[in-house]
Amino acid sequence: MPLRTAVRYLSAPIRDILRPSTTTSNRGYSAIAEARLMLEHELETIRTGGTWKGERIITSKQGPHINVDGSRGDILNFCANNYLGLSSHPQVVEAGIEALKKYGAGLSSVRFICGTQDIHKDLEQKLAQFHEREDCILYASCFDANAGLFEVLLGPDDAVLSDELNHASIIDGIRLCRAKRFRYKHMDLNDLETQLKESQSSRLRLVVTDGVFSMDGDMAQLKGICDLAEQYGAMVFIDECHATGFMGPRGRGTDELLGVMDRVHIVNSTLGKALGGAAGGYTVGPKPLIDLLRQRSRPYLFSNSLPPPVVGCATRAVELLLASNEIAQSVGDKTMRFRNKMTDTSLSDG
């Protein structure tokens, strides 16, 4: 057999493998078309259900007055979580610019390889100081902090007792852990006690609640929760995303406001709301827990470090709150003044 013929004969099967068949191509197209139909149906279900979430395009910095694409003039903004107005505070912005110039745009690494700068450790130290806890660990978001905590802390011999209206990130984080799960009725201490009694055979028990519930704005009954936790030998965790920076006389959160800072064991919170509003979350608590999270918390181990500009902005925001209580206290004063004026206007119009 001539060499050219042999090569053509041997290469034919390879060409057939590399060349997609009409049948395979049709099957792939059919799968994509079917998926598209399914997705469009799901989207239409959201629209008809009245839960479609549109995105307004803001063309200015965040603040009480914003410019929105398609609207004339500025618009009053009542829906941001910029509780302290620090998202565009000149000192916060300048700190971010300085961090960008000195430390760069990002680390291109996770923390434990080559992604920890001195500013990360400084921010962690300041957050631990702010919350009066032993140590702190930073995450890309508080969603990640909640996703990374329970799986590390709780095993199959443990139990987690969660308020039924806790944030989605808490619910998802608890799903990742192997602990026995108990859900108590929203802010119902009697039901919590029932769950604590039912879980008494567990090795470690953790009561989990939002400090302030984001949808309705109601506040966890932390004193009662701590009383029950101590009575039944459980630990207490709170998510403080909607409290850090402005709840309590120094803005430390609901645990400070309700006088139980020394009775709440673990706090998760965010840098993406009152503390500059950029991004990032964190856990504060006992040092052995924080050390273990650095070793085993998957969102921490497998996510890039917080970018230096974000760290710079958040650090300056925390420094402002550590230096003075006036910013935190101003929120209550402004809230009452606004509420009184709105009430007076409503009465006068009525």
* Residue positions annotated with a catalytic role: 214, 242, 273
138 strand-pairing partners: 282
Record the tokens describing residue 259, joined without a space. Answer: 């006088």
What residues contact residue 297 under an 8 Å CB cut-off, 6+ apart? 137, 148, 149, 151, 152
Alpha-carbon distances of 19 from 12, 16, 25, rounded to whole Å = 11, 5, 10
CA distance 150 to 206: 9
Residue written as token pair 């989605």: 168
CA distance 175 to 181: 9
CA distance 188 to 329: 30
Instruction: Give the other-Cβ count within 10 Å of 21's Cβ.
Output: 10
What residues contact residue 227 under an 8 Å CB cut-off, 6+ apart? none
Beta strands in the chain (DSSP E): 65-67, 74-76, 135-139, 159-163, 180-184, 205-210, 235-239, 266-270, 281-285
Residue written as token pair 């550590």: 322
Instruction: Tell me which residue of 53, 104, 99, 58 sits closest to 80, measured CA to CA.
Output: 58
CA distance 212 to 266: 15
CA distance 135 to 274: 21
Residue written as token pair 């140590």: 135
CA distance 125 to 53: 38
Q: What is the DSSP letter of 173?
A: H
Record the tokens describing residue 79, joined without a space. Answer: 């829906």
Alpha-carbon distances of 87 from 91, 195, 200, rounded to whole Å = 10, 41, 45
